[in-house]
Amino acid sequence: MDYLYIEKCMFATETFSIGLNMPAKTVVFTNVRKFDGDRFRWLSSGEYIQMSGRAGRRGIDLRGICILMVDEKMEPSTAKMMLKGSADSLNSAFHLSYNMLLNQMRSEDGDPEKLLRHSFYQFQADRSLPDLEKQIKELESERNSMVIEEAESLKDYYDLLQQHRSLKKDVHDIVLSPKHVLPFLQPGRLVRIEYSTDEPANFSIDENVTWGIIINFEKVKSHGEDKRPEDSDYTVDVLTRCSVTKDNSGKKTMKVVPLKARGEPVVVSLSLSQIDGLSSIRMYIPKDLIPVEVRENTLRKVEEVLLRFAKDGVPLLDPEEDMKVQSKSFRKATRRIEALESLFEKHDIRNSPHIQQKLKVFHAKQELSAKIKSIKKTMRSSTALAFKDELKARKRVLRRLGYVTSDDVVEVKGKVACEISSADELTLTELMFSGALKDATVEQVVALLSCFVWQEKLQDAPKPREELDLLFYQLQETARRVANLQLECKIQIDVESFVNSFRPDIMEAVYSWARGSKFYQIMEMTQVFEGSLIRAIRRLEEVLQQLILASKSIGETELEAKLEEAVNKIKRDIVFAASLYL
């Protein structure tokens, strides 16, 4: 906490929300916005409750006073959320670690499964069961209240519709893939586009489509590596009719509507997934489409073309003859669509009165059944022991690395990992047994271990010197081997993210600190904040102390002496002062 005493006033950061060891009658907020590492935002209700709750001490004050200094416009809804909102919910952050598991296995009375069964995480999972059972009863009651005539025939027809929709999507993805469609996205071509309605679902083989005219298309920029044109994403600028609405902030929202509906002529960017088909007809488009009258006249010409082909429909490009789509999957899907459409024609229920309403009710019933099934699955997982599969997977990792035997007896490597809780225990243990710590100098060991405690990501961080870089490379290879083994044992882990979590940004600064440099000198070598570097060196000392205990437990006296020397070299001056204000 940053603090300053002036008579009876204390200035503090939000750290004081954790608690004060002295009574405070009044809390003053000089600002109700904060930077959370990503952006400036309003305080949440939980943060406000924690900080304002420090005003007034039970048994001393009848009431506490809270003052907010608001110097910018705040919406009533934001103020209500902050002042009247609920406190942050208390959820278990329990997670399994190899250190925890090894210590449980090493203890005579240790039982990892018993520990999991009595965890707060398991308690929360079990506590949710009554609510889930209540939800199931309500949903089943609602589902049973839906009585549908000709249920079997309706189900058959509904299944056919779902198959037809799936096959149409497969055909669409093939025909309108960039590989086939790009040569035909010329300006002026009529294009059939899909639009959404307020109806929750469409139960017809006919899609909701309207028409527009292509103005341009462009490749969507991606932050990753350059893709081939046929593998990239594209947007198509189409002139069509849209309903335009504005929200309170003035932001416009455009929704495609039929050409004859009320709306404005707008050039809107659409993804290829919204394109339903390409016409063989191309029209002249004016160079300047900024005036509304020009866009309106262009859409009128489109409507005239549609009227001219009202009888037989606007001619579309043939996928095989015109677009040269040569795909077995396309031909197979097309044949199945034709077969399904013939079944629709012959189906008994097709001409049944109120077929659409019946299908909507049946669809709602299917969705309720899916919800019930999902909740029952959640209940089964809740009644099972939390982390049971992860526990088995982590035990497999420990056996394959030689930390425990097949009978769960902790080996020498396991005893070392038992002592390490402030860094990644597996990677550090593997590094220790590879001889990297024994072969390196004291200063190099300290620099290498800084990669385990430094979490921040620096832009343009200086590259460490050659001997440190070689040690860091050895660390990365060890981390990659450990991560790949965990992946093989069914542990959910992103290998590259895990490897990149070890950062060399402060290796040079810590190396110089271990060699006796002054604090202001190492601050000139790096871009980090003073507090961040001090915190990292303090955590580094904690890791060294744990490694000393680990070395002692396996009789490595030489390594133990080296690590004690490392502690003596870094534990000095302002970094380990009892208070920065003394």
- Model confidence at 226, pLDDT cuts 50, 70, 90, reads low
Give 274-289 pLDDT, tens digit per residue. 898 999 999 999 989 8
Look up tokens 């979490």; give the residue: 455
Same domain for 302 and 396: no
Distance, CA of 44 to CA of 52 (rounded, Å): 12
Domain range spanning residue 74? 5-84
Domain annotation covers residue 306: yes
Domain annotation covers residue 125: no
Q: Which of 84, 102, 121 is the last residue of a domain?
A: 84
- Whether the CA torsion 255, 260, 265, 268 is positive or negative: it is positive
The answer, yes or no, to whether residue 366 has pLDDT greater than 60, is yes
Same domain for 309 and 203: yes
Q: What beta strand segments (E) does 96-153 contain?
A: none
CB-count exposure of residue 354 (10 Å: 0-12, 13-18, 19+):
exposed
Domain annotation covers residue 217: yes
CATH number at residue 196: 2.40.30.300
Structure token pair of residue 300: 């009128």
- Model confidence at 315, pLDDT cuts 50, 70, 90, reads very high
- Model confidence at 568, pLDDT cuts 50, 70, 90, reads very high
- Model confidence at 7, pLDDT cuts 50, 70, 90, reads low
Same domain for 557 and 408: yes
CATH number at residue 20: 3.40.50.300
Regarding beta strands 5-6 and 9-10, do their DSSP bridges make them parallel or antiparallel, or are they unpaired?
Answer: antiparallel
The answer, yes or no, to whether residue 220 has pLDDT greater than 70, is yes
Give 380-399 pLDDT, tens digit per residue. 766 666 677 888 999 999 99
Same domain for 538 and 408: yes
Give 25-55 pLDDT, tens digit per residue. 889 998 888 887 677 888 888 888 888 888 8
Distance, CA of 209 to CA of 195 (rounded, Å): 6
Q: Which of 286, 317, 348 is the last residue of a domain?
A: 317
Regarding beta strands 189-194 and 275-282, do their DSSP bridges make them parallel or antiparallel, or are they unpaired?
Answer: antiparallel
- Model confidence at 332, pLDDT cuts 50, 70, 90, reads very high
Domain annotation covers residue 67: yes
Domain annotation covers residue 283: yes
Please name which of 66, 35, 63, 61 lies closest in space to residue 50, comparing C-alpha atoms: 66
Q: How many CB atoms sit inside 10 A of residue 468's CB? A: 22
Same domain for 404 and 310: no
Give 512-566 pLDDT, tens digit per residue. 999 999 998 998 888 888 888 999 999 999 999 999 999 999 999 999 999 999 9
Q: Which of 317, 347, 379 is the last residue of a domain?
A: 317
Structure token pair of residue 181: 């469609």
Same domain for 557 and 423: yes
The pLDDT assigned to 421 comes to 92
The pLDDT assigned to 515 comes to 93
Summarize the confidence of residues 2-8 as an average pLDDT. Answer: 51
Same domain for 310 and 416: no
Same domain for 527 and 400: yes
Same domain for 59 and 198: no
The pLDDT assigned to 246 comes to 80
CATH number at residue 497: 1.10.3380.30
Q: What are the Cα distances from residue 290, in Å, to 51, 200, 245?
A: 54, 35, 19
Pick from 48-52, 225-229, 254-258, 423-427: least confident: 225-229
Q: Euclidean distance between the first and final Cα of the chain, in Å?
A: 14
Distance, CA of 103 to CA of 16 (rounded, Å): 35
Summarize the confidence of residues 418-438 as an average pLDDT. Answer: 93
The pLDDT assigned to 201 comes to 60
Give 50-108 pLDDT, tens digit per residue. 888 888 888 888 888 999 888 888 888 888 888 888 887 788 877 889 999 999 998 88
Domain annotation covers residue 360: no
Domain annotation covers residue 370: no
Domain annotation covers residue 133: no
Structure token pair of residue 562: 């080296």
Contact present, 406 and 111 (Cβ < 8 Å): no
**Domain tally, the chain:** 3
Between 68 and 205, the more confident residue is: 68
Give 157-172 pLDDT, tens digit per residue. 888 888 988 898 899 9
The pLDDT assigned to 6 comes to 46
Same domain for 562 and 417: yes
